[in-house]
Chain A
Amino acid sequence: MDIKTDIKQTLEELNNATGITFSMDTDMSEEETLEKLKLLLNRYKGMTNSKDDFYIKLFEGKLNETEIADGTRKFHLSDVGYKTVFMLDFKDTYTDMDITIITSLFYPSPVDVVRVDDRTLCVIQYSQLKPSRKNTESTAYEMLDMIETQSMNPVRISYDEAFENYEEAPDIYKHLQLIRKVGQIFCSDKYVYGYYQMGLEKILYLTDTDILTDYCFENMPDADFNELDTETINTIKTFLESDLSIAETARKLYLHRNTLVYRLDKFQKDTGLDVRKFQDAFKCHMGFLINKLM
C-alpha cells in the first residue's frame, strides 16, 4: 500500500470515528501527515474507549454481537441477571454531586452511571432477580427525591422493564427516549415516567396529527377543549379517574353531589359529551390527550 492510500484510509477512518469530515491543507510531508493523522485517530479512540462510550454505542445500536461480548468482558460487566436502565434528564447540567448521590443510594449493589451528555445520565442497575414494576418505580422515585432534596437539581426520570441480554439494550434505550418525550407532553406535572404506564399516550404521539384532527372533528364536533376553564377540566378529569362514579368524584373534590351533576350537565351542553356514558367518557379522555399533544 502506498503512502497516499494509507493517508486516505486513515483520514476516512478518522471521519467515520468522529462523525466529522476532515480535509487536508498542509505543508507537512506525507510521512509527517500520516503520523499526525494516526496519532489523532489513536488519541480519539483512546479517549472514547471507555465504559461510557461502550454503553452509549450499545444503546445506539452501533455494536455487533462480537463487540458487545468484547465490551462486557473488557469492562467486567455481568452477563447473568437483570439490568434496569433509568434515564435521568436534568434541567441544568448534572454535577459530580448528583453522581455521588446516585452511586451512594445503590451501594453496595452494583450500578453504572453513564454520562450520555451534559444533561443526561443513564443509571444501569444490576440485579440477580427481575425487579417488579412497583420496585422499579419506587427506585426511580427514591432517586428523584434524593437528588431534589440533597443536590436540589431538578430532574425527570424515565425507566423501562429490566432486561437480561445486552442485545436488548438498544430497544430499551429507544423506549426511554420515546417515553421521556411522551411524558413531558402528556404529564408535564410529573417527574417519573414508566414506559408501560402511558400506552394510549404513546399511540397518540406516534399517530399522524391529521388522523387525530379528523378523529376530534368526527367524534366531538362541538367540543373545544381550549375553551374549558380549569374548574371544569379538573372536575371532568377527576370524574374520569374515579371510574365515572359521581359519589367518588364528589368526595374527592369536596363537592355536593348536586353541584357535580350540574357541572356534568353543563359540560354536556357545552361539548355534546355526556361523560356519564362510557363511549362519551372515552372520547372525552381522547380529547384531553389530543389537546395536550396538539
Chain B
Amino acid sequence: MANITLKNICKTYPNGAEAVKDFNLDIKDKEFIIFVGPSGCGKSTTLRMIAGLEDITAGELTIDGKVMNDVEPKDRDIAMVFQNYALYPHMTVFDNMAFALKLRKVPADVIKEKVEHAAKVLNLTEYLQRKPKALSGGQRQRVAMGRAIVREPKVFLMDEPLSNLDAKLRVQMRTEISKLHDDLGATIIYVTHDQTEAMTLGTRIVVMKDGVAQQIDTPQNLYNKPCNQFVAGFIGSPQMNFIDAVIKKVGDKVYASIDGGKTDLLIPAAKAKTLIEKGYEGKTVVFGIRPEDINDSQMFIETAQECKFDAKINVYELLGAEVFLYFDYAGAKVTARVDPRTTARTGDTVTFAFDMEKSHFFDKETEMTITN
C-alpha cells in the first residue's frame, strides 16, 4: 500500500527562486502518475521532495498517513530511477542489481531470490552473468530499473528514465514500463517533458508550469477538456491551433467572428449558451481547434457550410498514415491533420471546415477555458 498526499507543498530556494507553489495531489495506491511540463516547471523538484532529496519549504507530505517531511530519504521506502543509468562496469548484471542489498547486509539467499524475480519481470534472466558493456542501452536501463525493483519499495520515482535512449528504444521501453506497472502493481511517479510518454503511460497526469500544477486529470480529459490555453497547447502534437475571435450573436445563433469579420463560424448550441451566459458577447476570445478537427473532405464541408474557409497551403507534409497541411489563417499559423489521400499540395488554395463540436474557447486575458 502506498497512498501519497502532497498538501500545499512549496519549494523556495535560498536565492529566493520559487520552484514549486502550493502543490496539492492525492495519489492512490498503484496509480501511475505522470508529472509533465516544460523545462524548469518544477516537476523534478516535486519528485525530489517526495524522495527527500530536496527539503520541503512549506506544506506536508504524507505516505500512508505518516508525515514524511523530516524522514530521511533512505527511510521513506521509495526507489528512484534516473536518466543517467550508471552501472558498476566491473560487475555482472546480477551483482549490479544485488549490490545495494549486499551493502544493506541482506542475506545472500534473499538477494538471489529478489534479483532472479526482478530479472524475470524485466526479461533479463539470460543476461544475469553479463557485464554492462555487453548490454544494449535499453538493457542497461532495465538493469537500472532492476536495482530499484529488488528493493521492493512502496513507491517508484522515475525522473526522465528514457531520455538517454534513442527514439526507437524509447517507444519500446515505454511499453515495457507500462507492463512493469501492471506486473508489479506498484505506485509509480514518473517525470517527463515528453507529452507522448505522459499520455501513453499515465493513469493520471499532472501538467505543470512555472511551479504550479495547471491540471490534474486523466489523459483523455486533458486532451478533450483542457482547463486552460497552456494545457491545450501542451497536450497534443501538433499542438492545438489558436485564433483570436469575437463572439457575435445574430438572432438565435452565436458566431465566432474571425479575421476582422471575414469569416463567421457557427458555434454549437451548448457552447454558444455558455459563452453568452458568461458575458462574452462582443468580446474577443481565443478560439482553439486541434489539427485533426480541421477537415478538407468534401463530405464534411457540405455538412458544415457555416464553418468553412479557404486557405493557401504553405507546406505539405506526408507522414504515411496522415498528412499535415500548414497554412496562414487570420494572422495565425495553422496546422491541419488530414487523410493521406488528400489531393491538396503546397501552393494550392484549399477549402477547409472546422468541426465546431470539437472547438475550444479561452478567455483572452486569463487564458482559462470558457466552454470545457
Contacts and interface: CB of A to CB of B under 8 A. Distances in A.
Q: Is chain A's binding surface mostly helix, strand, loop or mixed?
A: helix
Given A107-B90, A226-B16, A148 B38 contact: no
Interface in A243-278: 252-257, 259
B211 A230 contact: yes
Interface in A93-138: 97, 100-101, 104-105, 107-108, 138
Interface stretch (B76-84, B181-189, B247-255, B337-345): B76-84
B234 A148 contact: no
B221 interface: no
Interface stretch (A45-53, A139-147, A210-218): A139-147
Contacts of B83: 145
B171 to A, nearest CB: 22
A292 interface: yes
Nearest to B51: A152
B80 A152 contact: yes
B103 A230 contact: no
Contacts of A254: 38, 230, 233-234, 239
B103 A100 contact: yes
Nearest to A186: B15
B329 to A, nearest CB: 14
B15 A185 contact: yes
B261 interface: no
Interface string A149-179: 1111110000000000000000000000000
Most buried by B among A189, A253, A254: A254
A255 B73 CA distance: 37
A231 interface: yes
Contact of A153 (B73, B81, B99, B332): B73
Contacts of B51: 148, 152
Contacts of B85: 145
Given A146-B86, A149-B79, A152-B80, A256 B233 contact: yes
A234 interface: yes
B86 A105 contact: yes
A150 B100 contact: yes
A138 B18 CA distance: 28
A172 to B, nearest CB: 24
A209 interface: no
A186 B53 CA distance: 19
A279 interface: no
Interface in B59-114: 72-74, 79-86, 88-91, 99-100, 103
Closest 7 CB pairs of A and B: A142-B86, A152-B73, A188-B13, A292-B15, A145-B82, A145-B84, A152-B74
Given A145-B85, A154-B54, 8 more contacts: A105-B89, A141-B84, A145-B83, A149-B81, A184-B14, A186-B15, A230-B212, A254-B234
Interface of A: 92, 97, 100-101, 104-105, 107-108, 138, 141-146, 148-154, 184-186, 188-189, 226, 230-231, 233-234, 237-238, 252-257, 259, 291-292
26 contacts: A101-B103, A104-B90, A104-B91, A138-B84, A141-B86, A145-B84, A145-B85, A148-B51, A150-B100, A151-B74, A151-B100, A152-B74, A152-B80, A153-B74, A188-B15, A189-B17, A226-B16, A230-B21, A230-B211, A231-B209, A234-B210, A237-B40, A254-B38, A254-B230, A254-B239, A292-B16
